[in-house]
Chains A and B, each alone.
Chain A
């Protein structure tokens, strides 16, 4: 029998949220740090500082959070909350993520309403809008590495990606067409490619 005091491998220590309020406050503080997106902060806080999850667990859960519909970080918060406190934990984690930032953003919107006619404010917002467009584009560019080992191969992924981009950005097709049509084709092809790989 292995003794419980000495783990055989240098496993990462794992803590857990002490209570529902700990969960709520942790996610509130985390959300309030996340300018231009919360994901980087989630990883740093929950994995590196609080150690509620190991890095492996984080990657695994993030994959699911990403493929499910809905805001990814909200999905992740939901799954983490659920892991420790069940459905109550899921609700509390999402509430922590949303409550304080919503109030803050509505205050900002109110202030913006007062100053919207000011050319400087309008200009600053326009500049931030251009940056925001760049941030989102960069997120897409960063994720491109994820298709490097794709079962369909890089050329097929590029064709599917370009077709989706053209459909949405240039032809302004409804999103459902692209997700169900091109996404459906991609999933079926991937399923077959995975099958062929397993048979080989």
Chain B
């Protein structure tokens, strides 16, 4: 896939990630649906498989899951031409997703700690919880369906459902699940 990224496009990508950073309550992954809407559906800077691969590689590699954002920037840059652009794209998305949230957290953590008995603080903490939980489930849903509901994908959906239940109910190491998924996919069973 080849795309053209103007300076204004890069700026708009950066600003979008700055905004998502402030909205990423519950972790960067909860903004993944919006990234999909923006990058794939609206701007056509990434293909759907590139989007899914970015998340899958970041999930299967060690490190914070937020690195899927680095891969999205990487892929946008790659689509726009070459490894230098890819590196630039990584910087744009990562600085964008990190800067506002870390600055805010740094300041708020101190304030929140000092005022943790206030009703407003507790209302925010507890009021957001059902929304954050729903966002995580919605993210899983969107990753599993990839924006389409093709019926022949049922083995993949089954794998997602089984994984969710196993991880939810047991303490099996996540690596076993990822390995199993890779093997099933390698042999073309899902």
Contact = CB atoms under 8 A, between A and B. Distances in A.
Interface of A: 31-38, 60-61, 63-75, 78-79, 82, 87, 90, 94, 97-98, 100-102, 104-106, 108-109, 112-113, 116, 119-144, 146-147, 150-152, 157-158, 160-165, 168-169, 172, 174-176, 178-179, 182-183, 186-191, 194-195, 198
A135 B59 contact: yes
A70 B131 contact: no
B73 to A, nearest CB: 11
B66 A164 contact: no
Nearest 6 A/B pairs, CB to CB: A127-B185, A101-B63, A134-B163, A70-B101, A137-B140, A140-B136
Contact of A109 (B20, B55, B57, B168): B57
15 contacts: A64-B113, A65-B109, A70-B101, A74-B101, A101-B61, A102-B94, A125-B182, A130-B160, A131-B163, A136-B29, A136-B140, A138-B140, A138-B163, A138-B168, A160-B130
Given A35-B178, A105-B70, A132-B143, 18 more contacts: A64-B105, A70-B27, A70-B100, A79-B105, A105-B58, A123-B187, A124-B183, A126-B190, A127-B181, A128-B56, A128-B181, A133-B144, A135-B59, A135-B140, A136-B140, A168-B138, A183-B127, A186-B130
A59 to B, nearest CB: 12
Contacts of A37: 65, 174
A164 B7 CA distance: 35
Contact of A67 (B25, B94, B142, B187): B25
Contacts of B52: 125-126, 129
A35 to B, nearest CB: 5
B23 interface: yes
Nearest to A195: B119
- B interface residue count range (under 10 / 10 to 19 / 20 to 34 / 35 or more): 35 or more
Interface string B143-169: 110000000000011011111111110
A67 B128 contact: yes
Interface of B: 19-31, 33-34, 37, 41, 52-53, 55-67, 70-71, 74-75, 78, 90, 94, 97-98, 100-102, 104-106, 108-110, 112-113, 116, 119-120, 122-144, 156-157, 159-168, 174-175, 177-178, 180-188, 190
Contact of B59 (A98, A128, A161): A128
A101 B137 contact: no
B32 to A, nearest CB: 8
A189 B136 CA distance: 22
A121 B97 CA distance: 29
A53 B25 CA distance: 24
Nearest to B112: A64
B176 to A, nearest CB: 10
Contacts of A152: 127, 130
A112 B20 contact: no
B62 A33 contact: yes
B178 A175 contact: no
A99 B90 CA distance: 13
A183 B141 CA distance: 20
B37 A187 contact: no
A133 B106 contact: no
Contacts of A66: 26-27, 132
Contacts of A144: 133
A191 B66 contact: no
Contact of A160 (B31, B134, B178): B134
Contacts of A75: 101-102, 105, 109
